[in-house]
Amino acid sequence: MTGKFFLYVIVTILVIWSMDSVNINKIFKKNKVLQATVFYFLLGISLIYLVTNFLMDLFTSVNFF
């Protein structure tokens, strides 16, 4: 279980760092800051969950952890 926790921490840092490079202001309508923030947050949480579970499945299939 500690391996999954550290994997979540590492993936969270990587996802935040990579999402910082995306300019989402051009995607959303003007004056829709709250909706854009919620979408950005949910997208980040989803990416963290998906990448962590993918890596855990990959590592457990080769008996890494």
Mean pLDDT of 13-22: 90
More confident residue, 52 or 4: 52
pLDDT digits (tens, 9 = 90+) for 19-59: 888 887 788 888 888 888 899 899 999 999 999 999 999 88
For residues 43 and 48, give the distance between their C-alpha atoms in angstroms, rounded to a whole number. Answer: 9
pLDDT score at 31: 86
pLDDT score at 65: 55
pTM listed for this prediction: 0.81
Domain boundaries, the chain: 2-61
Residue 1 has pLDDT above 70, yes or no: no
CA-to-CA dists, residue 29 to 16, 26, 38, 40, 42, angstroms: 23, 8, 14, 14, 18
Q: Could you tell me the two tokens for 49?
A: 């969950």
For residues 12 and 44, give the distance between their C-alpha atoms in angstroms, rounded to a whole number. Answer: 8
